[in-house]
Amino acid sequence: MSITHLVELQDIDSQLDDLNGLLGDLPKMVEELNEQESRLISKLKEDKTRLKEINLSLKKSETANFEIQEKINKLTDQLFLVTNNKQYDALTNEIDHFKEQKDENDSHIISSMDEKEILEKSMNENETSLEDLKTDLGIRRKKLETALSETSEEKAALEKSREEQISKIDSSTIQIYTKVISARSGVAVVSLSGDACGGCGAALPIQMASEIRAAAAHTHRCDNCGRFVYSKKN
């Protein structure tokens, strides 16, 4: 296998990295904003359901209190018609019982109103946040679509060329190349710099440097960083 194939593969991968670099953090940011949008929509949906429950509960409590108050009023009127203490005590006990029910309902209404106020405030804030997020997301989505559209043809051509180059290189070398390019910031093949590795700057054995310049049949790797080393003069 010729080192030329690895050099060409590295050149293709570097161009692909440059294309991905043009997108920057945009894909990740769009993904994060999408997740935020989903969370806000879900939260608003839950809050709206809870708000309906609170309103229904308030309506029931208020209706119950109205009915209880009518009963209290009716029993109070009857107090003036009783003819003995036993009837009077029975009516007052019943009135007290209804007043306790009304007090419980009043407490429930107050706590529900407090929860409703907090919930509505939170919903208003989340709705504002969602609108702002949708605006930001729309802009970033448009930028991403434009960038992807502009680079798609070039990227497709490079990926096709990459497959062609890989087919010319043995699988064991590709495995090493893949590990090195991942560990060395996207650069697995470097040129000779004097008698040193053009990647890490480590001095190479004189014999290895001579063989690299002579374009020996087998490939050479830096003992320090593991990169493949070649000579531009070849």
Per-position DSSP letters for 180-230, written without gaps between them: HHHHTTT--EEEEETTEETTT-PBPPHHHHHHHHTT-SS-EE-TTT--EEE
- The pLDDT of residue 79: 93
pLDDT, tens only, 53-99:
999 999 999 999 999 999 999 999 999 998 899 999 999 999 999 99
Reading the block at residue 131, the tokens are 């609108």
Give the SS3 label for residue 1: coil
- The pLDDT of residue 27: 87
Reading the block at residue 86, the tokens are 């036993």
Interval 207-231 mean pLDDT: 90
- The pLDDT of residue 215: 78
Q: Which residues contact 192 (CB under 8 A, 6 or more apart)?
A: 198, 204, 209, 212, 213, 229, 230, 231, 232
199 burial level (CB within 10 Å; 0-12, 13-18, 19+): buried
Q: Do the Cβ atoms of 58 and 140 come closer than 8 Å?
A: no
Angle between helices 171-183 and 3-23 (to 10 degrees): 40
pLDDT at 22 exceeding the cut of 80: no
23 burial level (CB within 10 Å; 0-12, 13-18, 19+): middle
Cα–Cα distance between 107 and 96 in angstroms, integer? 16
Reading the block at residue 82, the tokens are 């009783």
Q: Do the Cβ atoms of 107 and 57 come closer than 8 Å?
A: no
- The pLDDT of residue 23: 80
pLDDT at 113 exceeding the cut of 90: yes
Gap between the terminal Cα atoms of the chain:
15
- The pLDDT of residue 1: 61
- The pLDDT of residue 95: 96
Interval 204-226 mean pLDDT: 90
Cα–Cα distance between 71 and 75 in angstroms, integer? 6
Q: What is the mean pLDDT of the chain?
A: 93
Reading the block at residue 195, the tokens are 């008698």
Top-confidence residue, 216 or 187? 187
Q: Which residues contact 233 (CB under 8 A, 6 or more apart)?
A: 213
Give the SS3 label for residue 83: coil
Question: Please, which pLDDT band fits residue 28 given cuts at 50, 70 and 90?
Answer: confident
pLDDT at 208 exceeding the cut of 70: yes
Ordered structural domains, the chain, with CATH: 25-158 (1.10.287.1490), 171-230 (no CATH)
Output the CA torsion sign for 48, 52, 58, 59.
positive
pLDDT at 192 exceeding the cut of 70: yes
pLDDT at 183 exceeding the cut of 90: yes
Dihedral class, residue 170 (left if φ above 0, else alpha if ψ from -120 to 50, else beta) = beta
Cα–Cα distance between 82 and 95 in angstroms, integer? 14
